[in-house]
Amino acid sequence: MNAVASLSENSPFVIAKFGGTSVANYAAMNKSADVVLSNKNVRVVVLSASAGITNLLVELSEGCDADKRNELLQKVQDIQYAIIDNLQHAEVIREEINRLLENIAHLADSASLATSDALTDEMVSHGELMSTLLFVEILRERGANSHWFDVRKVMKTNSSFGRAEPGLQQLKESAQHLLLPRLQNDLIITQGFIGQDSKARTTTLGRGGSDYTAALLAEVLNLSRVDIWTDVPGIYTTDPRVVPAAQRIDEIAFDEAAEMATFGAKILHPATLLPAVRAGIPVFVGSSKEPEAGGTLVCDRTENPPQYRALTLRRKQTLLTLHSLKMLHARGFLAEIFTILLRHNISVDLITTSEVSVALTLDTTGSTSTNGSLLTNALMTELSALCRVEVEENLALVAIIGNKLSQVNGLGKQIFGALESFNIRMISYGASNHNMCLLVPGDNAEEIVRTLHSNLFE
């Protein structure tokens, strides 16, 4: 017991998380295995599903006819078999994967009769279960003492399917009992993104939740670093696919990176940094395809942080504008609105108000089980009884991330001068020192990001 205690006080070990593109196929998995085996301090590995699998499973969980089901199931099988066919001893692993594929087919049949958020979570969890089984086999063929571990044994969550939240104390106790003693000698391979509720039903932590899994495990096991391996060598001033001139950020503070993640930078899951910040654990982001290219270190603080750090883009934003003369010099109107939204489990992103109206943005990205729309008939009926409702969709959120932005003279001219030829639908500024948010038409979003990047960073 003393050995475990001393290990938990000052663990030199690292947890490595690999995203879907890093385990997309046999070649990618071997590249990721190279990364794991090159660092003897990597003791826990968290994997996403192979690229494309989660989307296929989500589509199956939404229910479809027999022909479409067979087509989607075949695609899932093909991705897994393409990896298995490259293994030297494939018989046992093929049986295990076939068992999981049969489960998927059974769940798909059930979904064609009736869908549910619980079924969706059960379905999509199979992506991570399969990728981790295959990765263990690849590591074993290379002589590593690797062991498969079902993360659901420790990741106990509430029953909010699609966006479940783990219980931290229970996770800590379970992980220190079941995982910590094994780190000295074993390499543990486990699943990101999934958990289990009190009724032993599989849950998911929301799209991108594998990062969150890795950071939570690092926190409760008191590890020294979280390495997040993806297809991009670090965090950039904006998405390099939108702006080829984007520059890599070598070091970034937790609060800046958290703002980036919250406002749409896909490189990190928004909740990832919370456990890392709590425990003061640095997070490294690099590319599994070219680990030698370096990456970005996310840490407590950086020297001389710049005024402008990055631009982020989040698509699929919905704007609700609520008009009512009852707002004029009245008390409690906003409380009524937020009570209705709470009842429908909707969180508001940005908000601006006038005397007789309030505008709210809703983020429709991030959950496995919202199916793209938060605006149910029941919600619209309740809101319409209280006020006149306008809905605008196909908007995008562009966030300027920086430091002490609310203290900068001439900020408005720098930003809006550059964007004088574009329509800005809504502005949110002043609540944070680290961001200014612009709601813009979705069709103009990329051009706006390119224009701002050219003016602020190039």
14-230, superfamily in CATH?
Acetylglutamate kinase-like (3.40.1160.10)
Nearest CA to 168 among 274, 45, 289, 243? Answer: 274
Tell me what pLDDT residue 431 has.
83
Was 382 annotated as part of a binding site?
A: no
CA dihedral sign of residues 334, 336, 337, 338? positive
pTM: 0.82
Quickly tell me which residue has 């005397």 as its tokens.
355
Highest mean pLDDT among 198-202, 257-261, 344-348, 434-438: 198-202
Was 230 annotated as part of a binding site?
A: yes
Return the SS3 of 141: helix
Was 231 annotated as part of a binding site?
A: yes
C-alpha–C-alpha distance, residues 95 and 246, integer Å: 46
Backbone angles phi, psi at 209, to 5 degrees: -70, -5
Give the mean model confidence (pLDDT) for residues 3-16. 64
245-274 pLDDT tens trace: 999 999 999 888 888 888 877 777 767 778
The amino acid occupying position 261 is: A
Was 20 annotated as part of a binding site?
A: yes
68-80 pLDDT tens trace: 999 999 999 999 9
HSE of 423, CA atoms in CB hemisphere, 13 A: 7
In this prediction, residue 302 has a pLDDT band, given cuts at 50, 70 and 90, of confident
Backbone angles phi, psi at 200, to 5 degrees: 65, 25
DSSP codes of every residue in 247-290: -EESEEEHHHHHHHHHTT-TTS-TTTHHHHHHHT--EEEEESS-
In this prediction, residue 10 has a pLDDT band, given cuts at 50, 70 and 90, of low
Was 17 annotated as part of a binding site?
A: yes
Beta bridge partners of 17: 46, 228
Residue 330 has pLDDT above 80, yes or no: no
Q: How is the chain split into domains, by residue range?
A: 14-230, 309-457
Was 332 annotated as part of a binding site?
A: no
Cα 357 versus chain centre, distance: 33
Return the SS3 of 389: strand
Nearest CA to 359 among 315, 392, 406, 326? Answer: 392
| Token digits of residue 72 | 């989607």
Return the SS3 of 113: helix
Let me know: does 217 contact 175? Beta carbons within 8 Å: yes
C-alpha–C-alpha distance, residues 360 and 352, integer Å: 7
Residue 25 has pLDDT above 70, yes or no: yes
C-alpha–C-alpha distance, residues 42 and 12, integer Å: 9
Tell me what pLDDT residue 365 has.
56
Backbone angles phi, psi at 128, to 5 degrees: -70, -35
Let me know: does 164 contact 158? Beta carbons within 8 Å: yes
Give the mean model confidence (pLDDT) for residues 49-63. 96
C-alpha–C-alpha distance, residues 223 and 221, integer Å: 6
Nearest CA to 161 among 106, 208, 206, 226? Answer: 206
333-382 pLDDT tens trace: 888 999 999 998 888 889 998 888 999 998 665 444 444 467 889 999 99
Was 115 annotated as part of a binding site?
A: no
In this prediction, residue 1 has a pLDDT band, given cuts at 50, 70 and 90, of very low
Was 18 annotated as part of a binding site?
A: yes
Cα 414 versus chain centre, distance: 32
The CATH number for 309-457, chosen from 3.30.410.40, 3.30.2130.10, 3.40.50.2300, 3.30.1300.10, is: 3.30.2130.10
